[in-house]
Structure 1
Amino acid sequence: MTGFQVEDRAKLRRAWGEQAIQAAMQSRWPQAVELNRNILGLFPNDVDALNRLGRALREQGQFREARESYRRAVEVDPNNNIARRNLESLANVQVDSAPVEAQQQLNPTIFSAESGKSGNATIVGVPDRALLARMAVGDQVYLHADGRALLVRNRAGETLGQVETRIAQRLIDLMQGGNKYAAALLTPEDGTYRVIINETFRDPSQAGRTSFPPRGDAAALPRSYIKESLIRPVDYDEDDEDGDVERDFTVEVDPETEDTAEPTEFDDEQPPE
Structure 2
Amino acid sequence: MSQRLTILSQLAVKASLEGKWKDAVELNSQILEIDPHDLSARNRLGRAYLQISEFLKAKKCFEEVLELDPINSTAKKNILMAKSKKKESVKNPNVERSLIKEPGTTTEEYINITAKRITSDSLKPGEALYLRVDKKTTNIFKLDLKQKPEILLGKIEGPVATRLSRAKNLGAYLIAHFISGKGKTAKIMIRSTIPVFKSERQEVKPYMKKGTIEESEIEIPMLDEA
Band of TM-score, shorter chain: 0.3 to 0.5
Please, what TM-score do these two structures have when normalized by structure 1? 0.39
Ranked by relative contact order (alpha carbons within 8 Å, sequence separation 6 or more), the top structure is 2
